[in-house]
């Protein structure tokens, strides 16, 4: 009798995807104690989230030159909106052009925004370039 070889399957490791702004804002699944059902739990960033123009996020991002804070839409929303400054109403009206980003990610992209984080609702700021200082805009009305 000849020896039989036992076939073994080799396991291939899948690369773990890198976290993205969208993946960090997605719901995470957790199991109940008995493991019977999965329940969605919203992962809320510790400092809240902001709405960012798609023009200021990603590898080909433009500088954030305009920032304003409005009443938050929900508990995770900080109320901050970050833009390049030349976005049209039509552009901003398209949901695919506005991304929810954790404030910590925005601060990592541009540390000059962090001191603005505690400013009150209704605050608005602009600058001419990334090297310029933030200037407060008096009486800014986002609906005007």
> Would you place residue 59 in the very low, low, confident or very high pLDDT band (cuts 50, 70, 90)?
confident
| Domain assignment present for 78 | yes
Residue 144 belongs to a domain: no
**Domain range for 96:** 44-136
The predicted pLDDT at position 15 comes to 40
Instruction: Name the average pLDDT for the chain.
Output: 76
| CA 107 – CA 89 distance, rounded (Å) | 25
The count of structural domains within the chain is 1
Burial 7-34 (b: 16+ CB within 10 A, else e): eeeeeeeeeeeeeebeebbeeeeeeeee
Checking if the pLDDT of 124 tops 80, the result is yes
Backbone torsion region of residue 122, taken as left when φ is above 0, otherwise alpha when ψ lies between -120 and 50, otherwise beta? left
Tell me, yes or no, whether 131 lies in a domain: yes
Per-residue pLDDT tens for 80-101? 999 999 999 999 999 999 999 9
């Amino acid at each position: 009798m000849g020896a039989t070889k036992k076939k073994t399957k080799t396991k291939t490791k899948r690369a773990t995807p890198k976290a993205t702004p969208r993946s960090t804002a997605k719901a995470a699944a957790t199991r109940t104690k008995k493991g019977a059902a999965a329940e969605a739990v919203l992962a809320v960033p510790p400092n809240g989230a902001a709405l960012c123009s798609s023009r200021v996020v990603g590898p080909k991002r433009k500088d954030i030159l305009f920032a304003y804070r409005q009443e938050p839409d929900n508990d995770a929303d900080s109320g901050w909106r970050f833009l390049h400054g030349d976005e049209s109403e039509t552009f901003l009206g398209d949901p695919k052009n506005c991304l929810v980003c954790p404030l910590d990610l925005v601060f990592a992209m541009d540390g000059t925004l962090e001191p603005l984080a505690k400013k009150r609702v209704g605050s608005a700021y602009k600058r001419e370039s990334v090297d310029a200082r933030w200037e407060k805009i008096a009486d800014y009305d986002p609906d005007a």
